[in-house]
Amino acid sequence: MSYLKIKNVEKTFGKFKALNNINFEIERGEFICFLGPSGCGKTTLLRIIAGLENVDSGEIFLKDENITKKHPAKRNMSIVFQSYALFPNLTVGENIAYGMKNKKIPKDIIQKKIDESLELVGLRGQEHKYPNELSGGQQQRVALARAISYSPDILLLDEPLSALDAKVREKLRNDIKDLQKKLGITTIMVTHDQEEALSMSDRIIVMDNAKVVQVGTPQDIYENPANN
């Protein structure tokens, strides 16, 4: 049984076809990259999995449950955006705690989760700082800590490294991959960077013109790219 199954998903915005008959399956613990040029539909697909966009047709199954119409808050997924999306008026610890407080998690467990997640992303001792006191790479680590703090079923990453400079991007790329392996979280990352996809993923889903054009391991994609 697949962990996540996307079946015949379609999405249109006005006259623009964003997703055209999308089908694939993901296994538990896999690191998947959606790779393709801007406008190909990869971010729309990520948002549909998260529940932030509705499908026009098709179905989404998580652990054999149909979640197509399930509210985003009920899907137990975390998403990290390119723009960090941190609250500037909240400390690092308060940013991480925000979602857990909304879920009515007890304070002692929240503090434990803050400590654990900051340790995992290499920001131990930064709990009381504000986002503007951190570098871009550190802010993205806070966003990642927040995302993993309540043990999501799926971690969704929407081009999380594209706003960072090359040196920071390479370091964080390796750290995200190591963290994903350590925690075993099923992870889907959107990227237009071929090197990023090849170095980080277990499998790559290549998209173009609203369609999936190839699915395979990094080696498969590199050695036998689809002839689009």
* Domain ranges (residues) in the chain: 1-76+153-228, 84-151
How many whole angstroms from its chain centre is CA 126? 23
pLDDT in tens, 116-172: 999 999 999 999 999 999 999 999 999 999 999 988 999 999 999 887 888 888 889
Q: Which two tokens stand for residue 40?
A: 């190909």
Q: How many CB atoms lie within 10 A of CB 56?
A: 14
CATH of 1-76+153-228, one of 3.40.50.300, 3.30.70.3420, 3.30.70.890, 3.30.43.10: 3.40.50.300
Give this prediction's pTM: 0.93
pLDDT tens figures, 96-122? 998 888 778 899 999 999 999 999 999
Spatial separation of the C-alpha atoms in residues 205 and 177, rounded to whole Å? 17
CA distance linking residue 114 with residue 149, whole number of Å: 7
